[in-house]
Structure 1
């Protein structure tokens, strides 16, 4: 069972509308942290009853960690409002991360799902990495990705930056590089399209699932994900067996 650690807030920076980058100190006991893993963060100070929020790791440094947080409710608002020097009660690292493999790599991120792909970019040994990023309007982390990969393409739904449309519209052009592996994180509808695209092209995929979580340690079963089990199917815990799954494992709701 993971125990909590107190981390000092080093910096909080607004990087887009309702999107914040939060840097915290890294405790010595957190020796190995994999891209795709997450941390369960207590958002408020003592006396407030907000549940912890599962936040994927964005970047790992020897002495600090960086998270990207979308301010979307009272809990994440309290987290984004924390000040430099505040203590954050954090449990982690939790879950299973990405498995880096292959030489020609394609990363696809949608919205806040772009965040865990930054550390993956840093982890992948190959220099032949193409990143496709999708946002509704204002993009973020684009310049950060450019530090670690060979090609970055951006799509915005309103056409304010890059190509107008969804990030999946960039997939066909990315095939010119004949990728050997696709990694993706973002909304379920995007992940379903990536899964289908990988099947059609014969390219293996790894998908970081975004599910609602309560306990973060596999006890509450709120974050169940439907996966193949031999010739049948079963439910597994996204926080424990995931959040990263191989694409051919996941069974998406046919209504999405």
Structure 2
């Protein structure tokens, strides 16, 4: 049995939650039943031939829905943002390997940068008050999902590039005083590299969700390569099939 399904699903809700950031809820019972935090879907929008990968933000198995939060970055995501509730959308889901949460009684640090924040929400839920989110955004206008994380019991710390919300500076500036047992991170590669280094110095587990351009989403096109460490030396894996979540210590963090 395939781990993913292709289906024409109905859009139930759509909202622009920040300039250029959209929150989409889709009815897809089978995909919702199989999905795990950290996985993603490939959306096929009308008039486009290539699918667009978007990470799962929320899973509601009882109601058979998946939630996605995405940023308009090109023609494909712009076309997706123009679809309305009641319209169908074709998606391939769930794809990739999600987060291995392990013991949710541990103190968990979630580190997100920009559109790397939404994939962390579903993962943070089981940790409740044992979770802290450190998130970085460009400005106040780009801050998303703060209330959603806090509704799970998670503490939130925000940094913005311009200081218009939270602390001015980098997301790593938010976590120097924190004690944690495990780290989950998603965002730009320089941020992930820095988080992985910090986790290594602290001697704690770190799992990172990588963001790479991809076309097929199932490992066929070989377009989303990432260099990894293996028992027999370095090799190239693929974000869509081997990830998008990796143990940070297995990633070759090239400058």
* Interval containing the TM-score (normalised by the shorter chain): over 0.9
Superposed structure 1 runs of 4+ greater than 3 Å apart: none
Comparing both structures, which one devotes a greater share of its residues to helix?
2
Correspondence list, 1:15-94, <5 A: 15-28=17-30, 30-43=32-45, 45=46, 48-61=47-60, 62-63=62-63, 64-94=65-95
Alignment of 1:72-151 (within 5 A): 72-102=73-103, 103-122=106-125, 124-125=126-127, 127-137=129-139, 138=141, 139-151=143-155
CA distance in 2: counterparts of 1:246 and 1:126, whole angstroms? 22
What displacement does 1:132 show?
A: 0.6
CA contact (8 A) 1:104 1:126 kept: no
Post-superposition offset of 1:169 = 1.1
CA distance in 2, matches of 1:113, 1:50: 25
Tell me if the contact between 1:155 and 1:165 (Cα under 8 Å) persists in the aligned partners: yes
In structure 1, what is the equivalent of residue 240 of structure 2? Answer: 239
CA distance in 2, matches of 1:10, 1:183: 29
* Aligned-residue RMSD, C-alpha: 1.3
**TM-aligned CA deviation for residue 166 of structure 1:** 1.4
Structure 2: runs of 5+ lacking an equivalent: none
TM-score by length of 2: 0.93
Tell me by how many angstroms 1:50 deviates.
4.0
Structure 1 unaligned segments of length 5 or more: list them.
Answer: none
Q: Retained in 1: the 8 A contact 2:31–2:93? A: no
Taking structure 1 as the reference length, the TM-score comes to 0.93
Shift of 1:54: 0.6
Residue 85 of structure 2 aligns to a residue whose secondary structure is coil
